[in-house]
Amino acid sequence: QKEVEQDPGPLSVPEGAIVSLNCTYSNSAFQYFMWYRQYSRKGPELLMYTYSSGNKEDGRFTAQVDKSSKYISLFIRDSQPSDSATYLCAMSPYSSASKIIFGSGTRLSIRP
């Protein structure tokens, strides 16, 4: 069993819809949670970063962490075609970058 599970999709939604992307994990020691966005043939770029449980909002994006359920989510409001990309969750038991575990990514397509 992988430490981090992420549905690969693809997920296709119409423009303007609310998108929910999720990851589950098994290691209760994870405390740092990240979401990366990766456009086709590009490197990942950091989208959101949260520490421990709770919510974090940045514009149209909201990251949620539920440590009791070992479940993290990324919500995208008013989705745009430019949001079409692969979204990778990532997490770590501490701030050491060498211990970051990435999910396999969810491919998202926003239909105009």
Partner 1 sequence: NAGVTQTPKFQVLKTGQSMTLQCAQDMNHNSMYWYRQDPGMGLRLIYYSASEGTTDKGEVPNGYNVSRLNKREFSLRLESAAPSQTSVYFCASTGRMGQGYGYTFGSGTRLTVV
Give the binding site for partner 1 (CB under 8 A). Answer: 4, 6, 8, 32, 34, 36, 41-46, 49, 88, 90, 92, 94-98, 100-105
Nearer of residues 88 and 110 to partner 1, judged by Cβ: 88
Looking at beta carbons only, is 41 or 112 nearer to partner 1? 41
The DSSP annotation for the chain comes to: --SEEE----EEEETT--EEEEEEE--TT--EEEEEEE-TTS--EEEEEEESSEEEEETTEEEEEETTTTEEEEEESS--GGG-EEEEEEEESSS-GGG-EE---EEEEEE-
Q: How far is the CB of 65 from partner 1 (least distance, A)?
A: 14
